[in-house]
Amino acid sequence: MNARIPLVVTTVACAILFFSIAAVFALVIASLVTGGPIDFLGGPEIADASGAVALVLAA
C-alpha cells in the first residue's frame, strides 16, 4: 500500500469540507445582499421529509 494514500484522502476530504463551508458562506452573503431568504425548489417538501424521518427514528 502506498504511504501517500491517507494523505491524498485527507486532502480531498478537507477540500470538500472547505468548499461546502464556502458555499454556505456565499449563500449567507447572497441572502444579505438580496434582503431575504434564498428560495430553493422543493425546500418545504425536503423539510417535511426530514422532519418525518426524525419522528420515525425517534419512535
Instruction: To the nearest 10°, report the CA torsion of 26, 29, 34, 40.
Output: 40
The pTM of this model reads 0.55
CA distance 58 to 52: 10
CA distance 52 to 49: 5
Q: Do residues 27 and 38 lie in contact, with contact meaning Cβ atoms separated by under 8 Å? A: yes
Q: Based on the structure, what is the number of domains in the chain?
A: 1
Q: Which three cell numbers stand for residue 13?
A: 476530504
Q: List the domain range (segments joined by +) for residue 45.
A: 5-58
* Confidence (pLDDT) at 28: 85
> Mind listing the pLDDT tens digit for each residue in 7-55?
999 999 999 999 999 999 998 888 888 877 766 665 565 666 666 666 6
